[in-house]
Structure 1
């Protein structure tokens, strides 16, 4: 859900966030005391961005009104591309740091359910706004934030110091947490993960909470709210999300050329048809549900000028692939599958399971993490999500 801002500035955004339920009364004084504009650099790329689309850069010096409007709109602001190697106004390949959408910021802080005296570990300092909000609410001495990029950390420290709020900002690998400040009552990540790092659980007190964006390799993502109980952690997903991946967990996926082995399509693939449209498996929730069941698989889309496209699905071991051809208005779609895994059959089985459960949303799913790994579940830990393949 995205709040609509009636006027440019902190008050307009606050009104919209309060109306949407994201900004709750206990966080409102902190919102007013720690304005977002203090934590946004001069050059930003407003809105959702990835390697195929990017809104134009907005420069505060050249366009102060447009910059302020973007800052106090309920949208994410990309502040760095390609781990800092991109410095121009053109299209970057990978967004690598940002100021998160305010609706998401305060929704996650509400999920964190902090109380006076709590000690919080944040993974992903970014611009420093989120940890500054926590420092204002709990006291800087109770907040530790970890940032992998030294330049990003340096900028956040300076901005926080100028705001009169200086939580401890550590440069390091966020997967390792920070044992020097442990144990923590709360852990919050502002970058997405595919596996919950063991250190986060070990450094959290029993009864403490971990709030993080989590998503399977296949696609889809949601905020998980885990309660720690000794060496285990379990809890529900609370809402959809779309964050940049923790740098050390970014997948290094094989190229398309690794699969057909220089052969012309359909190569050695087996032909077939399906009545399940490739369009149906592309929704964010559908991807999430499929990904929970279908490990070690990912996809890409090859689009054509006539509005048709091919949905390619691959196994990470490069041994299996599948193609499904989409044509608008068609009742059946051509499929080719190759390798020991029948990847389209797996996709179809996973989708039909989700459909058979009533197409549950993110908030019906949950996750349990223990010494045996991670187990997603539906409605209750007693009902694990089945694996296909």
Structure 2
């Protein structure tokens, strides 16, 4: 194996300079933590980098040591595990990691309470938590036994020994409760009740968010209330893999709904709701549960088609652009849900609300398990966005 030519000290300086573009006045405690936790020691010899075309390419430390080490100290996500051809674990962008720690209040000197991390991954985030709060205050839960063992080895190698639990993060870890802070390193589409129950009153839950429509965008910071519920707001950053359970259910293979298709037209452009406006997509994801999409540019059916499906049932819709008219699109729908009608209504509602950004949304959870997403208008009035 070739030897890297750049020092980790120089690379850490470079990384902190990149992070500073996203975090003004990086707290000194975070600076010290990053310098004390060498990121490359928490990465496997083989990682996968984004290839610029929506996929990933391998980067092997044995054959490309300089590229591997530079990647280790870049402010970029690195895939560390593939399962059945899909990425199932990654090392998150350091700037995103630090922003989440700041949202949890760990940039304050008074932050010394117990912390529960959900999703140990490689152990890097747990090591930062140990630096900030002390080893005895940190518990990390990891579903994958291989990753849990790897995280434990990596943490030991840099002199840290938090409690590493092999288990389903959805259930938290009641043995160490209550926690002052609960931090998830994967995204959810609702807050598990166990997390609320295990967080002390006035404590914070920080978790990335996803929906079927808008995968992995937005971070929720929830503060637990005296009655055992919670209330908080979303923040417009983060992209994380969704939470995995101990087993993956096989979706029904009933195919698309075979009832009569309804063909209409729509003035709503498919690009308005699936073309990269993350604020609009976030709203659609919250208010049209189960709806997901894929673009089809093969030309087999239309010059450009947006395929829409219900990930919980047989309903579907297609929205076709004929290559000439951008003011009217052919819509075909079938199934018990009229998905494009729901999406159009959601988009109209988003415009009616003033096209709010992700930061305008919040969530209230009650002790009965109901969770309501709301949006705050410019006048401070809260209006319900959806129930999840």
**TM-score between both structures, scaled by the size of structure 1:** 0.87
Matches within 5 A, 1:332-351: 332-351=328-347
Tell me, in whole angstroms, the C-alpha distance in 2 between the residues paired with 1:20 and 1:154. Answer: 32
Give the alignment of 1:148-297 within 5 angstroms: 148-220=143-215, 221-229=217-225, 230-248=227-245, 253-254=251-252, 258-261=255-258, 268-282=260-274, 283=276, 284-297=278-291
Equivalent in 16, 19, 23 of residue 17 of structure 1: 19
Report if aligned partners of 1:300, 1:311 keep a CA contact under 8 Å in 2: yes
Deviation per residue, 1:175-227 (Å, 9 max, x gap) = 11111111100000001111211111000000000000112222242100000
- Report the CA distance shift for 1:316/1:374 in structure 2 as closer, same or farther (over 3 A): same
Q: Would the aligned equivalents of 1:311 and 1:325 in 2 still touch at CA under 8 Å?
A: yes
Q: Is the 8 A contact 2:123 2:151 kept in 1?
A: yes
CA contact (8 A) 2:293 2:308 kept: yes
Give 1:31 deviation, angstroms. 1.1
In structure 2, relative to structure 1, the CA distance for the partners of 1:224 and 1:329 (3 Å cut) is farther
Which residue is equivalent to 1:301? 295
CA shift in 2, pair 1:191/1:227, >3 Å: same
Take 2:166 and 2:50, find their aligned partners in 1: how far apart are those partners? Answer: 27
Unaligned runs of 5+ in 2: 1-8
Distance 1:15 1:236 in 2: 29
Q: Describe the SS at the equivalent of 2:355.
A: coil
Q: Summarize deviations over 1:273-309 as a string: whole Å, max 9, x none.
A: 1111111111332221012111233233333158833
Which sits farther off after the overlay, 165-174 or 362-371?
A: 362-371
Distance 1:317 1:171, change over 3 A: closer
**CA separation of 1:48 and 1:99: change in aligned 2, threshold 3 A:** farther
1:360 aligns with 2:360: no
SS of the residue corresponding to residue 103 of structure 1 reads helix
Separation in 1 of the partners of 2:33 and 2:373? 35
Aligned counterparts of 1:279 and 1:329: Cα–Cα separation in 2: 15
- Report the TM-score, using the length of structure 2 for normalisation: 0.87
Residues in 1 aligned to 2:18 and 2:337: alpha-carbon distance in whole angstroms = 48
Unpaired runs of at least 5, structure 1: 1-6, 87-91, 262-266
Shift of 1:374: 1.4
SS of the residue 1:247 aligns to: coil
Residues paired across the two proteins, number? 365
The 5 Å alignment of 1:31-70 reads: 31-47=34-50, 53-70=54-71
CA drift at 1:120: 0.3
Aligned-residue offset at 1:233: 1.0
